[in-house]
Chain A
Amino acid sequence: MSRQSNRATDSKKMNSELFTLTYGALVTQLCKDYENDEEVNKQLDKMGYNIGVRLIEDFLARSSVGRCQDFRETADVIAKVAFKMYLGITPSVTNWSPAGDEFSLILESNPLVDFVELPDNHSNLVYSNLLCGVLRGALEMVQMAVDVRFAQDTLRGDSVTEIRMKFIKRIEENMPAGDE
């Protein structure tokens, strides 16, 4: 059974240039459609959210990850399993807040920005903002309200790319009977 799912995972690898370039074409289009960068960021986040709420199902079905006990475990799963599976990278998890409700993902490389240079007139654009939406949407589907934002971005001259994640609350929901 597990072998079979491994095989399915392997065959799902794809040309990441296609993904990177397609994402680039999208951002370019959004920059044309919207007047300012803030609007583009918002739209990217929204689209990411829509992807996240669907991606989580794909993720739970294909990885054998169960319910996370705490936020630390969630961080590990995101960095070591999810990022690895979908983008082929493993960000490091650092900068835990003392309360353990906030941490940073440090991305050595960001596949979304492989061939990207930001023009000067887009200083407020958070190019990879889609990722924030994806993380937020996916976690919301597992009853976690989380605030996600880029704290540093190599595209904007920082030395690393840092995604800051802050746990807000557990979403109480009446789950359908028999649903995990």
Chain B
Amino acid sequence: MADEALFQFLHSEIIQYVNSVETGESENGRCVSKLENMGFRVGQGLIERYHGRSVFILDHPFTKDTPRFKDELDFMKFICKDFWTSVFKKQIDNLRTNHQGIYVLQDNKFRLLAQLSAGKQYLEHAPKFLAFTCGLVRGALSNLGVKSIVTAEVSVMPACKFQVMIQKM
């Protein structure tokens, strides 16, 4: 078992690195998309691993009695509960949807922001700390067969909202 501190240091070092490669104002978007892409690969990998061991999806109590993942909402519930717990050791605190393919996942104490000041001081840097995770969710959904766009926003640290827009195939 790896230690969480190690991941957090690695994560901030990755942000630091990507940021140093992509300098300048106009590169900010590139920086975020690079982080997002790395998260995407990791998210895909995680789902593959879970599938391989059949722990998460096949034997999950939630999917045992019902046909598994009968709709979009099931996928999102999986992300909010199992996936989030396995990655961040807590569930998403609130899931909302407009029933038209948009889901808002709220985490009141997002782990990768917990190390930053809870004030407004570093608010402008928050997107960098969320990009990897946006990719993580998009990658996970992608390997479950759901195409999506994931964005994140922070209004008060360390709470944040991830918005998932499902792309209709």
Contact A86 B6 (CB under 8 A): yes
Of residues 2 to 60 in A, which have CB atoms within 8 Å of B's CB atoms?
11-26, 28-29, 33, 43, 47, 50-51, 54-55, 58
- Is B153 interfacial (CB-CB < 8 Å)? no
Contact B2 A88 (CB under 8 A): yes
- When distances are taken between beta carbons in the complex, the residues of chain B under 8 Å from A17 are 45-46, 49
- When distances are taken between beta carbons in the complex, the residues of chain B under 8 Å from A16 are 1-2
A73–chain B nearest beta-carbon distance, Å? 22
Contact A18 B13 (CB under 8 A): no
A92–chain B nearest beta-carbon distance, Å? 20
Contact B13 A51 (CB under 8 A): yes
Tally A-B pairs: CB < 8 A: 92
- Is B147 interfacial (CB-CB < 8 Å)? no
Give the size category of A's interface with B.
Answer: 20 to 34
Of A21, A26, A51, A115, the most chain B CB neighbours within 10 A belong to: A21
Contact A47 B13 (CB under 8 A): yes
> Please, how many angstroms separate the alpha-carbon atoms of A47 and B19 in the complex?
13
Using known A-B contacts A14-B89, A15-B87, A22-B11, determine if residue A28 contacts B4 with beta carbons closer than 8 Å: no
- Is B5 interfacial (CB-CB < 8 Å)? yes
Contact A22 B42 (CB under 8 A): yes
Contact B42 A25 (CB under 8 A): yes
- When distances are taken between beta carbons in the complex, the residues of chain A under 8 Å from B39 are 25
Contact B2 A26 (CB under 8 A): no
| Dominant secondary structure of chain B at its interface with chain A | helix
Using known A-B contacts A17-B49, A22-B38, determine if residue A12 contacts B13 with beta carbons closer than 8 Å: no
> Please, how many angstroms separate the alpha-carbon atoms of A22 and B42 in the complex?
6
Contact B5 A55 (CB under 8 A): yes
Of A12, A20, A50, the most chain B CB neighbours within 10 A belong to: A12
Using known A-B contacts A22-B38, A50-B13, determine if residue A14 contacts B4 with beta carbons closer than 8 Å: yes
Query: Which of B's residues lie within 8 Å of A, judged by CB?
Result: 1-7, 9-11, 13-14, 16-18, 21, 34, 38-39, 41-42, 45-46, 49, 86-87, 89, 132
22 contacts between A and B (CB under 8 A): A11-B89, A12-B3, A13-B3, A15-B86, A18-B7, A18-B46, A19-B7, A20-B2, A21-B42, A22-B14, A22-B38, A33-B21, A47-B17, A55-B5, A55-B6, A55-B9, A58-B5, A86-B3, A87-B2, A87-B6, A88-B2, A88-B3
Closest 3 CB pairs of A and B: A16-B2, A25-B38, A19-B2
Could you list 7 further interchain pairs (A-B, Cβ under 8 angstroms) beyond the known A23-B10, A26-B10? A17-B49, A19-B2, A19-B10, A26-B38, A29-B38, A51-B6, A87-B3
